[in-house]
Every structure is written in C-alpha cells, then in structure tokens.
Amino acid sequence: MATNKKVDATIDLVAKSAGVSRATVSRVVNGSAKVSPETEKAVRRAIAKHNFTPNVNARRLAGGRSGLVALVLEESSEEFFLNPFWGFVVQGFTSAITDAGMQALLLIRPKTGTEDSLFESLRVAQVDGMALFSWHRPVKSFEKSIPANMAVVFGGDLGGSEKFAYVDVDNVKGGYLATKHLIAQGCKNIVTITGDLKLQSGRDRLEGFEKAMTEAGRTITSVAILNGDYSMSRGEALTRELIKNKVKFDGIVAGNDLSGVGAVNALLQKGFKVPEDVKVIGFDDSPVAARSNPALSSIYQPTRELGAEVAHTLIAILAGKKPEKKMLPVKLVVRASTAKK
C-alpha cells in the first residue's frame, strides 16, 4: 500500500508541474493515447525534473507499456567491443530513447543463436519494441516469428524487408565513392576486401565497387574480390594472401575501417609503402581511421545519427504513427592513405 501511495503522489506532482491531469501523465507514460507534442514535451520535462520512474508491473496491469525497448545486435563480442561503429550506434540510440522517457535494453546475441531464444528473452524482458541490427540470416523467416503487437525497426534494410521500417545509410553510394576515388588517384589494379557478405551492408558496398569499376571500363578479375568479415585480422590476412600469391594491385577498397587498417598493417610489415605503392580506403570514418598511420581515407557515415534515427522511428511507431523508411547520406573523407605520389 505504501508503494502505491508513493507512486500516486509522484504522478500528482508531475501532473501539477506540467499543468495537466493525472490521466494525461498516464497517457504519455504508457503511450496509450495521443497527446499534443507540446503537452508531451511538458510532461516529459516534469518527469525528468522530479525523477519520476513509473512502476513497470503496475503499468502492465493497467494495460500500459513497460517503457522498455530492446536494441538487438547479432554480433560476436570481439566485433562489438573492437569496432567503434557499434559504440556510436548504441550512443545515438540510447540517448534518443532516454530523451523520450524510456529505457533501452541492449542484447548482444551470437550469430549462432536461434530466433526462439531471442524472442524468449524479449518476452521475459516485457519490451514494447525492438531495434535490430546486423542480422546474418534471411530476414523473411524472421519476419514471421515477430509478435504481431511488437514495434520493430531494422537498422539497415537487412535484405529488403517489406513488413518493417528501416533506417540505413547509402552503402552502395559509399562503395562507389571509395572506388571512384582510387581510380581518380591513379590506381590501375584495384581490389576490394568486402564486408561480411551475409549482411546487406557488405553486399551493397560490393555493388558500389562493381558499379564504379564497370563505369570506368575496368575488368573485375577473379582475384579482385576478397571475402572479408569487417574484422582487422581478416583484412590483414587477406592482404598477406594477395602479397604471397604475387597478385598485382595498387589500390584496396576495404569494407570498413578495421579491415582497411588491417590491410595497411600487412602492407607495411611486408615492406610496401602506403600510399606510394598501394593506396587504401576504408568505410565508416571511425576514430580508427583518423588514428591510423598513415591516416586512413574513408567513407563517412553518420553512425550516431543512424542509431538515433532508428530510435526515433521506433518511438514514432509506439506513438501510433506510420513508420517511414529512411536513407542517410555518406561522403568521402580523404586522408594520407590515398594521397597521390
């Protein structure tokens, strides 16, 4: 009984501070009905001011929402902790969710996990919605398993989902810009270390590479496409293999910055000069690229914005709005690794 009185008093305090009724505060907290943007902003401000945290179970019993949303990443622990891309995505997502008065639950699941184990975790957590990044399997079977009442947004198109909204960056254009840059810098024999081709981002960046090469009248040989996985170790190993097999190359388009730095490391260790002998460009424009020696040219993608836009789309769905698919721009960032001789 004491707990209920404390919650009621807090709701009253929030309502008085925002100049609205208790029912309006409840609607904003639960997302159970639409209120004007001005009213919602006033209530959110009052909630933050008084540090109000609603009781999740009470809200569930009242037919409301838990206020929890899940950010699901299907990646290895190594990939998550070593690739700065994920840190920026999580920052953007969690900041937007927190600003909306909700809480984000981060789930990092192995690539070998099952859909059943994922949905059981989400059921136990009683989440209202889910943002999904880096799905390594066909998305069609996954679509059929998602509970009908769950709000879902994909980070990336994940293979062309027609059922759910997504926010993505223009990976095809990014791969195209990176390759065109090496061509403009005078590279005659360009190879690519792809991203993970199980992911749509990897396939899209490869498509951009192929498009630029074809437009320039360049032949894409059987050794020009090396299947990477977005890791530094794989980028290094594939570059060593190129050198060992005496493949003629003077430019590398890497699937991301980590694999690009791995390629640079292998080249330097084998006595090659970057960019004099081989020019290398990555993708992401992460801190790894700027700190590399030589500094790595890259394709900038708005990573924090990607996480935030996924969150905003999820929030909009929970508010009853029609979701929209969004594509974020990319741009070329030139550094020392692709300088002309």
Give dist(CA 54, CA 75) in Å, integer: 32
Looking at the chain, the whole-number percentage of residues with pLDDT higher than 90 is 53
State the pLDDT confidence band at 208, using cuts at 50, 70 and 90: very high
Q: What is the pTM of this model?
A: 0.79
- CATH level 3 topology of 68-168+303-328: Rossmann fold (3.40.50)
Phi, psi angles (nearest 5°) of residue 132? -120, 125
Q: How many other CB atoms are there within 10 angstroms of residue 319's CB atom?
A: 15
Between 82 and 220, the higher pLDDT residue: 220
- Return the minimum-mean-pLDDT range out of 110-114, 132-136, 204-208, 243-247: 110-114
State the Cα–Cα distance between residues 247 and 191, nearest whole angstrom: 10
Tokens linked to 88:
């920026």
The amino acid sitting at 325 is: K
Instruction: Mean pLDDT check: name the lowest of 9-18, 51-60, 100-109, 233-242.
Output: 51-60
Same fold, 2-61 and 171-301+332-338: no
Q: Where along the chain do its domains lie?
A: 2-61, 68-168+303-328, 171-301+332-338
* Mean of the per-residue pLDDT values of the chain: 86
Residues 299, 282: contact at Cβ < 8 Å? yes
149, 119 in Cβ contact below 8 A?
no
Say which residue the tokens 């398993």 belong to: 145
Any idea which of 10-19, 137-146, 260-269 has the lowest mean pLDDT? 137-146
Q: How confident is the model at residue 116 (pLDDT cuts 50, 70, 90)?
A: low
Q: Is the pLDDT of residue 27 over 80?
A: no
Fold of 171-301+332-338: Rossmann fold (3.40.50)
pLDDT for residue 316 is more than 80: yes
- How many CB atoms sit inside 10 A of residue 166's CB? 24
What is the pLDDT, as a whole number, of residue 220? 95
Q: What is the pLDDT of residue 16?
A: 87
Q: 30 CB contacts (<8 Å, ≥6 apart)?
A: 59, 62, 63, 64, 65
The pLDDT of residue 60 is above 50: no
CA distances 124 to 66, 105, 117, 128, Å, are 12, 12, 11, 12
pLDDT of 310: 95
Place 218 in a pLDDT band, splitting at 50, 70 and 90.
very high
Pick the CATH number of 2-61 from 3.40.50.150, 1.10.10.10, 3.30.70.580, 1.10.260.40: 1.10.260.40
Q: Does residue 319 register a pLDDT over 60?
A: yes
Q: Tell me the per-residue pLDDT of 267-310, one tens digit each, with 9 for 90 and over.
A: 999 999 999 999 999 999 999 999 999 999 999 999 999 999 99
